[in-house]
């Protein structure tokens, strides 16, 4: 009990001597020593209040609208370019240009501009997006006002709809050309072969179309009936369930992949292109009530689908449902008006107990002046006996 206070008293002069030495050493550098004090609660509250973003000021607010204007340009010398203007919810404006180094039509360039806008909107984290373009065809096909008949347009349309699923709310609007002049100027700059000096313009160079950079199966729905078959044929992936894996392996033996497209192969027919649910509905409607459609029945429709070269597993069921929902088929289709009767059963307990006899003819005159044929069939054994005769009498 007595040693501890003595040690404290002995340590105090040593500590004070060291502090004096440090004070002399640091005096020439104009450095002052201040002991550490406790952080007060008010200072901590001020720090939190200063660096906390309110919900209304958050830059990731999903309810705010992003507006993107796109346009494409074809130069006289063969250059092609895309111009994109991005208007952020905070009022900022970003400009972006893409120089296309591959052959493309005017409509394909317009689609490239729309796909570029969707790609940039996704990269910037936009959830509520408005795409504006002056292309009547592209916007009309996306809004299902026009039909995409060409294969290239169908691929662009499918890719656009696939990217549209990345946003919570997305709208495509066609605007007049005079309201899209800014994006048009950027597209012209991108399509020009001359080197631009505008430092604010971000320029990208693309050597291949967007539809060739993304595989066909990458834009198909995960819930499509083709997904497990394609996954097994491409990567060998199978479900964990043993029965389901065995079923997919058995089914996949009847399919093959050619040029990133799934085909069904058969013994006596050419390869049939496999389609998803949306394409199947379009094919059935076109065959049933299209330009050359004759409102055929379900069996005839399925045969025409196979002859056209398409396949999906529920062809028969979908064809029956389409005929049931067709208003013209229900109004003007042939109705069986014969009265219903019970079927008469024919019983034959043993061979040659009951026979069926009929006379066929007249035929061209044959050898022996015969012109008719008498046919006899046993109901039990299905044994057939025929006899050529020349005349038919009552006996």
DSSP assignment letter at 123: H
Whole-number Å distance between alpha carbons of 111 and 98: 12
What is the model's pLDDT at position 197?
Answer: 46
pLDDT of residue 222: 55
pLDDT computed for residue 8 by the predictor: 43
Pick 65-214's CATH classification: 3.30.300.30, 3.30.465.10, 3.30.1520.10, 3.30.420.10.
3.30.420.10
Whether 86 and 96 have beta carbons less than 8 Å apart is answered as yes
Q: Which two tokens stand for residue 86?
A: 């991005």
Q: Report angle CA 140, 142, 143 to the nearest 5 degrees.
A: 65
Instruction: List the CATH code of the domain at 222-332.
Output: 1.10.340.70
**Cβ pair 354, 327 in contact under 8 A:** no
Instruction: Say how far apart CA 250 and CA 244 lie, in whole Å.
Output: 10
CA dihedral 335, 336, 338, 342 (to 10 degrees): -140
In the chain, domain spans: 65-214, 222-332, 355-389
Only one residue has tokens 């014969």, namely 338
Residue 130: the pLDDT is 92
Task: Return the pLDDT at 64.
Answer: 82
Instruction: State the pLDDT at residue 196.
Output: 55
Q: What is the mean pLDDT of each run of 10 residues along the chain (395 residues)?
A: 45 64 73 64 71 53 80 82 90 88 88 90 88 90 86 86 85 90 88 62 81 64 77 81 88 85 83 88 87 82 90 91 86 73 77 84 82 87 86 71
Structure tokens given for 70:
């796109």
Q: pTM score, two decimals?
A: 0.49
CA nearest neighbour of 383 among 348, 332, 359: 348
Burial of residue 151 (number of CB atoms within 10 Å: 0-12, 13-18, 19+): exposed
Q: How far apart are CA 181 and CA 217, in angstroms?
A: 37
pLDDT of residue 9: 44
Distance in angstroms (rounded) separating the CA atoms of residues 156 and 139: 12
Residues 6 or more apart in contact with residue 56 via CB below 8 angstroms? none
Measured CA to CA, the distance from residue 63 to residue 48 in angstroms comes to 26
Both structure tokens of 290 = 């299209």
pLDDT at 387 (0 to 100): 86
pLDDT attached to residue 5: 46
pLDDT at residue 15, as a whole number: 61
Q: What pLDDT is stored for residue 53 in this prediction?
A: 56
Q: Closest Cα partner for 102 from 73, 134, 80?
A: 80
- Quote the CA–CA distance of 142 and 138 in Å, as a whole number: 6
Are 82 and 71 in contact by the 8 Å Cβ rule? The answer is yes
Backbone angles phi, psi at 160, to 5 degrees: -65, -45
């Amino acid at each position: 009990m007595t040693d501890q206070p003595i040690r404290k008293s002995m340590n105090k002069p040593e500590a004070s001597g060291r502090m004096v030495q440090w004070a002399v050493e640091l005096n020439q550098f104009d450095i002052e020593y201040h002991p550490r004090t406790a952080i007060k609660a008010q200072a901590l509250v001020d720090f939190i209040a200063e660096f906390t973003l309110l919900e209304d000021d958050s830059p990731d607010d999903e309810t705010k609208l992003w507006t993107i204007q796109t346009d494409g340009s074809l130069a006289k010398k063969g250059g092609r370019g895309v111009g994109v203007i991005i208007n952020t919810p905070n009022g900022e404006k970003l400009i972006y240009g893409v120089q296309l180094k591959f052959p493309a039509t005017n409509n394909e360039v317009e689609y490239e501009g729309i796909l570029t806008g969707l790609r940039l909107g996704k990269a910037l984290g936009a959830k509520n997006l408005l795409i504006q373009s002056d292309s009547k065809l592209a916007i009309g096909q996306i809004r299902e006002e026009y039909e995409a008949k060409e294969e290239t347009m169908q691929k662009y349309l499918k890719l656009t709809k696939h990217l549209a699923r990345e946003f919570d709310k997305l709208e495509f609007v066609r605007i007049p050309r005079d309201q899209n002049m800014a994006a048009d100027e950027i597209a012209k700059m991108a399509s020009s072969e001359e080197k631009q000096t505008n430092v604010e313009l971000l320029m990208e160079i693309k050597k291949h179309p967007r539809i060739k950079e993304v595989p066909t199966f990458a834009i198909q729905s995960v819930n499509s009936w083709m997904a497990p078959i394609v996954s097994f044929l491409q990567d060998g992936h199978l479900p964990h369930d043993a029965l389901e894996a065995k079923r997919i392996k058995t089914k996949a033996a009847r399919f093959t992949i050619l040029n990133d497209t799934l085909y069904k192969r058969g013994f006596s027919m050419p390869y049939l292109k496999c389609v998803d649910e949306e394409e199947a509905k379009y094919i059935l409607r076109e065959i049933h009530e299209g330009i050359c459609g004759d409102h055929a029945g379900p069996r005839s429709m399925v045969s025409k689908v196979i002859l056209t070269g398409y396949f999906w597993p529920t062809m028969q069921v979908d064809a029956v449902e389409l005929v049931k929902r067709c208003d013209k088929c229900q109004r003007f289709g042939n109705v069986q008006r014969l009265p219903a009767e019970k079927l008469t059963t024919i019983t034959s307990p043993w061979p040659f107990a009951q026979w069926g006899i009929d006379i066929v003819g007249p035929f061209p005159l044959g050898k022996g002046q015969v012109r008719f044929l008498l046919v006899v069939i046993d109901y039990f054994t299905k044994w057939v006996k025929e006899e050529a005769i020349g005349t038919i009498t009552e006996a």
